[in-house]
Structure 1
Amino acid sequence: MADLLFSHIALSCAELGRTEEFYAQHFGFRRARAIPLGAGNEIVFLKNSHGVYLELFRADAERPAGLPLLTGDGAHYPGVRHLAFQVTSVDDTLAALGPAAEVTLGPLDFDAFIPGWRTVWVRDPDGNIVEISQGFTDDPALATP
């Protein structure tokens, strides 16, 4: 599988435009493609400068009754826990997010594991948890030659 390349993450959105604006304004994504589905609906592909894609769909159902809004660092049951982005500065990113930063956990320092590793989790417009992290590095002992 040497040619395997991660493709994208798909998100169901209550309001496509609001979710697109959030990821464009705060995480540098831009519209890469829109596929019209008719009746004013579309699939929107967003892409950032590192080639990461988000695929946005308009949700066609409400959150199931009894399914709680995600908190903390995300779901602790099987499924996607959170999306994560590396930034230069957690504090600068939080300041730039301003009122759009609904913090669910942190910021926390993980210097005991990796000096300079700092992370905060925020909620996107659809309730998904987004991790914003600085300073994470791979373990050099695990590097493949």
Structure 2
Amino acid sequence: MKKVLYSLFIFASATLFAQKNTKVKFAVLEDMVGTTTLFENQKQYIKSTQAYKSANLPQKLKKFSFIADQGLTEVKLKNDAGILDNISLAQLNEQNNLPKNTPVIIEGYEFKDTAMRIFAEIAQEVDVKDYNGVKSLFITTTRK
């Protein structure tokens, strides 16, 4: 009986830690992931945005379908705008003394491809927590 309760507790805690934050809307700029909030604060550099529903993603954005529960916005910058600071998930793992191929959890969404780049500004809080028995990075895009 204790084993069953222990197993349920572990499952419940893993589920609790990895719940998707459906309030966060992701945006993509040149294969780098950010949030719509990040780009709302950069309006002077934005040339255009195109919002897509998860079922209607164009082929070039299909690899981001796992974060498109609330839709996905594609962002294009003006020609004179520089790219915002960005970092690969593998580099973030290494900075936190984790193996570079460990999946990263951003707002409850599991990013398995650690070669993927994110805009550094979205990582407001970064914690190392246990996820399915593996120490993993958990990133929150808003300050608590």
| TM-score strictly above 0.5 | no
The TM-score, its normalising length taken from structure 1, stands at 0.28
Higher helix share: 2
> Which has the bigger relative contact order, CA under 8 A and spacing at least 6?
2
